[in-house]
Amino acid sequence: MTLGSAFRPLVDLVLPPRCPGCGVLVDDDLQFCGDCWNALRFISDPSCRSCGKPFSEGRDNDLVCAECLADPPLHDGIRAAVLYDDLSRSIVLKLKHGGKIGLARLVAQHLQRYLPEEADNVVLIPVPLHRWRLWRRGFNQSILIARELARPRGLRVETNLLRRVRATPPLKGMTRKQRGQAVRGVFAIPADRRDRIEGRHVLLIDDVYTTGATARACVRLLKQAGAAEVTIFCWARVLRDGDEGLAM
C-alpha cells in the first residue's frame, strides 16, 4: 500500500469527490454525476474524415463535410472530446480561472482514445500563451493537458518550441479575414529547434477549438517547419449555427 492510498479514506472524508460539472458528491475523483454525464455531448462517429465534425446519424463515416471539400484545411484532423456548450465551457473555466488544475487530467482522460496506436513519431505541442497572460494566470492550461495526455504512454511534450511572440486581441466578432490578420506573425519557431519536429506527427493541444484562426496559424507554422502531420486535440469544439444540423 502506498502512502497516498493509505491516506485516501481520510482525504475523502475531509474533501469528498465531487462532480466536475455540478459539484454534487460522487464516488471518485474526476467522475461526472449521472445527470452531467448524460448532458455532455460527446463526439463520436460518424464524423467528417477531414475535420472530425460530427454528422447526423446514418451518414457514412468516410465522408468529408462540404466545408472541407470547398476549402481543404491545413491540419490533418481535429479530435475533440465534446461539443462546446454551457457544461463543457464550465469545465474550461474552472480549469483556467477557477484554480481546478486537476481538471487537465479529466480532459486528457477523454482524449486518450484519439492517440495514434503507433506513437514513436508523435510529439505533443501545446498552443502557447503570451508571456503576460501566462504571468497573470500562472500556468498554461494547454501544457497541463498535454503533460497529462502524454504521461501514460511516455510521449514527448515540447513546451518551448512553438512560441507566442505577441499578444492578440479578442477574436470574437471578427470576420474570418480579420481573424487571420489578427494572428499573423503571432507565433514563431526558433530556427535551431526545427529539427525537433521535422518529419514528426505533431499533436497540437488546446482547450477549445473556436474559430480556428489560432489553430490555423500554428498549423501553418508547424508545417512550414517540417512537421509531416498536425492533428489538433482539444476538450471541446464550437459548432457554428450552420453546423448544428450536422451534429448528433
Phi-psi region of 23 (alpha: psi -120 to 50; beta: other; left: phi over 0): left
**32-47: per-residue pLDDT in tens?**
999 999 999 999 888 8
Grid-cell match 492517440, residue found: 115
Average pLDDT, the chain: 86
Q: Are residues 135 and 231 in the same domain?
A: yes
Secondary structure string (H, E, C) spanning 31-71: CCCHHHHHHCCECCCCECCCCCCECCCCCCCCCCCHHHHHC
Q: For residues 217 and 205, state if they share a domain.
A: yes
Q: What is the pLDDT of residues 65-89, one digit of tens each?
A: 888 899 899 999 999 999 999 999 9
Query: Same domain, yes or no, for 62 and 157?
Result: yes
Whether residues 30 and 110 fall in one domain: no
Strands 201-209 and 229-237: parallel
SS3 83: strand
Task: Identify whether 248 is part of a domain.
Answer: no
> Where in the chain does DSSP place strands (E)?
78-83, 122-126, 156-157, 163-164, 187-188, 201-209, 229-237
| pTM, rounded to two decimals | 0.87
> Which helix (H) or strand (E) segment is 14 a member of?
helix 3-14
Q: Provide the domain count of the chain.
A: 2
